[in-house]
Amino acid sequence: MATQDQSVVRLEDYQPPAYRIDAVGLDVHLHPAETRVTAKLAIHRAAATAPGTPLTLDGDGLQLERVEIAGQALPASDYAVTPSSLTLHEPPSTPFELVLETRLNPQANTALMGLYRSSGTYCTQCEAEGFRRITYFLDRPDVLSVYTTRIEADAAEAPVLLGNGNLVESGKIEGTGRHFAVWHDPHPKPAYLFALVAGNLASIKDRFVTASGRAVELGIYVEPGKESMCDWAMDSLKRSMTWDEQVFGLEYDLEVFNIVAVSDFNMGAMENKGLNIFNDKFVLADPETATDQDYAHVEAVIAHEYFHNWTGNRITCRDWFQLCLKEGLTVFRDQEFSSDMRSRPVKRIADVRLLKSHQFPEDAGPLAHPVRPRAYREINNFYTATVYEKGAEVVRMLKTLLGDADFRAGMDLYVSRHDGDAATIEQFLACFAEVSGMDLSQFALWYDLAGTPRIDAVPAHDPATGTLSLTLTQTLGPTPNQPDKPAMLIPVRIGFIGANGEELEVRPRGADQVRSDVLLLSQRSQTFTFEGLPSRPVLSLLRGFSAPVTLNASQSPADLLFQLRHDSDPFNRWQSAQDLATRELMRLYAALRSGDAVTADTALVAAIGEVLTNEALDQAFRAQVLNLPGEADLAREIGKDVEPDHILAARRLLRAAIGSAHARQFADLAETLGRKPFSPSAADAGERALKGLCLGYLAVSEQNDRAAIVTRHAREADNMTDRLAALTVLVHERLDGADDALAAFEARHAGHALAMDKWFTVQATSPHAATLTQVDTLTRHAAFDWSNPNRVRALIGAFSTGNQSQFTRADGAGFVFLADVVERLDQRNPQLAARLVSAFRSWQALERGRASLAEAALSRIAASAILSRDTRDIVERCLA
């Protein structure tokens, strides 16, 4: 296989830039096919650079029209230019102004990186390396410049012109039908934070007054007609601004904060300074088209991008290896924000579910990499669950280790010391070490070691002495490039539950091994001793999921049931239910796979019934308990030789047993829950989540009017959450009325692309043999569009990552289908294609027949003569 080692970028090779660009003046003449960009770059040689050292600027597919220094055209012999670089052989040794003119074709830009058009609106996406598609530049995050952007466009085509920072001038250009605006951003920033937007956009406006009394104009810009769907986003923005002041003491720093929603976007959103650009699915929300999950996502993504203003923009990354410096920290911050806005335990459960279902499999397969990678071929492929979600867990552990006060002091020091810097993980950690006096060198391994550590816990209780000793052993298996791994520092939060369910106050011997109720596991194996326990307590380990590890505590089913009823830590109550269900599902899977007759365990079925009707538990929490481990969770648990059809069957068997045993309660609850007028509040959302689960269980029960009940819910729903929940149950359980409900949904939402995405996803995730053909048919549906990433992800992405049994069909047709799609999309949009192909990442864990079919599909992609660097990187790592 051809590898391209020459194009690997390595952390150890980092060199500071030889030249700096202090100021950038851009003049952008927008035109759909022939946009002209004039860049005036104020450049100076770094002190450490010898005079006459060549200067190489990055480019990507650029066409250079003009190059001047100090008003003089540069002689051709003084420079070398290609679409991907511009080298000045001997730049002036004193500061100079370089003028570059490039010509772009935004409407031909299908990769959605650089300057492109989305439904007629001009917009940009520059992270990570998109600015080099606009002009030649030192396109690296440690080159910070002050930007002034003049945007000129046809006034009728693009009445709204937006840039970073504050608006300083605008006007008409007489007699041309064109107009212009000049934006100035006083804060030096790396090129990846540059943005401009121009188009026919409507907006909603608001105002925010910061804690120190400065007024900020807020604007959210969308396609005309969608203004009424922006209120939730605006509300979320204002709450984010207040929260960052109150919790981190961080205020906004410009007179304007604008958000633009576009419909063609590769990721969720982008934190461009003062001008965040969003995938419209994370801005638009109303009860008719958005689910409760959508509301929660809008709130979280708005917060995430806003919080980047400090953790990302004011303090940016030295190089892309430090990506988690801004992303892990900012995810942590948005998770904390959502916890404060909603239910903290329910948010924690949702975050851990996401971590386990996305990051753990990544960390266990061929795409595993450390939170801070040391090498990459394509940086776009490192915007991963590991960098984001595990990166956030590492920050959370830091807070657990230091305690609230020292963590906040460390954050304050980080902000004051590094404001205006392009920083590193070492500098970040040094702030926390300094304020706490802790040595964080062992903790820093979390950034460097790939893989999910396992902890084996073995308790031994001696009633004679009232002593309990707990031995914790950590194992971190080999991952690609990291065969031997040292012991890590793992915070294990712990509690003891007494015989009557009461919380026991117990502390171990040896104060240096513990911080409050957190054990500090720092050796491969360590024994903690606890006294004053005459009768055996039930242990509650890893409370709140205090570290991203897999815990093997081999509790008895009786202890897990006891924990489910009594643990004062809601997370572990949920976890104990998941553990019980996982064990039961594993047993059912093994039996089904060997062809044995098997029935579900009645004790577990009864325990779930208890939770269902336990009025003391809030409804969102009950919904989380009723939501059994997913197919991918079980595949991960099984680990190798996975047979997805039997996983599906095992889940179905257990769900049917639960559904039938409690059919009455499910039917009654479905009637009584969520009857009041819609509000997106967390409490009401929890009620609707529980109702949806009730319908799901009812559908697999023996209740004979079940199809009619679910159909009625689908028909009578007055909000998208309820409508989609009922539709999903009808389609996935193939109940009578499913086709009519699909048709009704389609008729109702035909004009609304984001709602139709849900219609695509429901069908793509249906666990039946006919689904693949249906997905293929839907690619020809009028609402489908290969050039829109949301459409592609809603149909193809949902099929390949959300429908395990059908994607991994035993005949390999799911793999072939995805390979075809990837080849079709790769030249058009490499980032999107690379993300889709990542669905193969767990192929080696499948049983042999499926694994070899997956390998064949991957090999076929790898053999393509033309393949983007993005897709080739993923495919080759999957096959390595």
Please, what is the minimum distance in Å from the beta carbon of residue 331 to Zn ion? Answer: 7
127 binds ligand TRP (CB under 6 A): yes
CB atoms within 10 A of CB 126: 25
Select from 121-129, 593-601, 689-697, 861-869 the region that touches ligand TRP (CB under 6 A): 121-129
> Is the Cβ of residue 201 or residue 269 nearer to ligand TRP in the bound state?
269
Select from 98-106, 122-130, 182-190, 230-238 the region that touches ligand TRP (CB under 6 A): 122-130
Select from 124-132, 222-230, 418-426, 504-512 the region that touches ligand TRP (CB under 6 A): 124-132
For the chain, counts of helices (H) and of strands (E): 30, 33
Q: Name which of residues 329 to 368 contact Zn ion (CB under 5 A).
A: 330
> Is the Cβ of residue 241 or residue 714 nearer to ligand TRP in the bound state?
241
Instruction: Say which entry of ligand TRP, Zn ion, none residue 127 contacts (CB below 5 to 8 A, set by partner kind).
Output: ligand TRP
Please, what is the minimum distance in Å from the beta carbon of residue 133 to ligand TRP? Answer: 12
Q: Name which of residues 363 to 402 contact ligand TRP (CB under 6 A).
A: 380, 383
Instruction: Say which entry of Zn ion, ligand TRP, none residue 547 contacts (CB below 5 to 8 A, set by partner kind).
Output: none
> Is the Cβ of residue 870 or residue 876 nearer to ligand TRP in the bound state?
870
667 binds ligand TRP (CB under 6 A): no
> Is the Cβ of residue 113 or residue 753 nearer to Zn ion in the bound state?
113
CA distance 325 to 319: 10
Count of residues interacting with ligand TRP (CB under 6 A): 14
Please, what is the minimum distance in Å from the beta carbon of residue 383 to Zn ion? Answer: 8
Instruction: Say which entry of Zn ion, ligand TRP, none residue 58 contacts (CB below 5 to 8 A, set by partner kind).
Output: none
Question: Cis bond leading into 385, ω under 30°?
Answer: no
Task: Show the tokens assigned to 321.
Answer: 């290896």
In degrees, to the nearest 5, what angle opens at C-alpha 45 toward C-alphas 377 and 70? 110
Name the DSSP class of 516. Answer: T
> Is the Cβ of residue 250 or residue 547 nearer to ligand TRP in the bound state?
250
> Is the Cβ of residue 311 or residue 563 nearer to ligand TRP in the bound state?
311
Please, what is the minimum distance in Å from the beta carbon of residue 831 to ligand TRP? Answer: 6
Q: Of all helices (H) and strands (E), which one includes residue 720?
A: helix 720-732
CB atoms within 10 A of CB 319: 19
CA-to-CA separations, 463 to 87, 300, 533, in angstroms, rounded: 77, 49, 7
Identify whether the C-beta of residue 181 lies closer than 8 Å to the C-beta of residue 167.
Answer: yes
Identify whether the C-beta of residue 421 lies closer than 8 Å to the C-beta of residue 321.
Answer: no
Among 128, 346, 542, 698, binds ligand TRP (CB under 6 A): 128
Please, what is the minimum distance in Å from the beta carbon of residue 128 to ligand TRP? Answer: 5
457 binds ligand TRP (CB under 6 A): no
> Is the Cβ of residue 192 or residue 799 nearer to Zn ion in the bound state?
192
CA-to-CA separations, 782 to 733, 746, 779, 785, 791, in angstroms, rounded: 26, 11, 9, 8, 11
The distance in angstroms from the start CA to the end CA of the chain is: 9
Instruction: Say which entry of ligand TRP, Zn ion, none residue 569 contacts (CB below 5 to 8 A, set by partner kind).
Output: none
Q: Name which of residues 331 to 360 contact ligand TRP (CB under 6 A).
A: none
Task: Show the tokens assigned to 692.
Answer: 């949806």
Instruction: Say which entry of ligand TRP, Zn ion, none residue 783 contacts (CB below 5 to 8 A, set by partner kind).
Output: none
115 binds ligand TRP (CB under 6 A): no
Give the contacts of 669 (CB within 8 A, at least 6 positions apart). Answer: 612, 690, 691, 694
> Is the Cβ of residue 313 or residue 771 nearer to ligand TRP in the bound state?
313
Please, what is the minimum distance in Å from the beta carbon of residue 303 to Zn ion? Answer: 11
Please, what is the minimum distance in Å from the beta carbon of residue 829 to ligand TRP? Answer: 11
What b-and-e string marks burial along 108-118, b requiring 16 or more CB atoms within 10 Å of the CB? ebbbbbbbbbb
Give the contact letters, 209-248, x = binds to ligand TRP (CB under 6 A), - = no: ----------------------------------------
Identify whether the C-beta of residue 861 lies closer than 8 Å to the C-beta of residue 837.
Answer: yes
Could you please report the per-residue DSSP string of 140-182? STT--EEEEEEEEEETTT--EEEESSEEEEEEEETTTTEEEEE
Q: Name which of residues 418 to 447 contact Zn ion (CB under 5 A).
A: none
Please, what is the minimum distance in Å from the beta carbon of residue 357 to Zn ion? Answer: 20
Please, what is the minimum distance in Å from the beta carbon of residue 656 to Zn ion? Answer: 41
Q: Name which of residues 309 to 328 contact Zn ion (CB under 5 A).
A: 327
Facing residues of 491 across strands? Answer: 520
Task: Show the tokens assigned to 592.
Answer: 């089904």
> Is the Cβ of residue 16 or residue 268 nearer to ligand TRP in the bound state?
268
CA distance 635 to 171: 60
Identify whether the C-beta of residue 278 lies closer than 8 Å to the C-beta of residue 260.
Answer: yes
Count of residues interacting with Zn ion (CB under 5 A): 2
Instruction: Say which entry of ligand TRP, Zn ion, none residue 627 contacts (CB below 5 to 8 A, set by partner kind).
Output: none
Q: From the candidates 305, 389, 393, 584, give the one annotated as an active-site residue.
A: 305
266 binds ligand TRP (CB under 6 A): yes
**List of long-range contacts for 400-404, beta carbons under 8 Å, 24+ apart:** 400/491, 400/493, 400/515, 400/518, 400/546, 401/438, 401/443, 401/489, 401/491, 401/515, 401/518, 401/520, 402/432, 402/435, 402/436, 402/438, 403/515, 403/516
Name the DSSP class of 65. Answer: E
Residue 305 annotated as catalytic: yes
CA 814 to chain centre: 25
Facing residues of 118 across strands? Answer: 121
Q: Which residues are catalytic?
A: 305
Give residues in contact with Zn ion (CB under 5 A): 327, 330
Give residues in contact with ligand TRP (CB under 6 A): 125, 127-128, 266-271, 304-305, 327, 380, 383
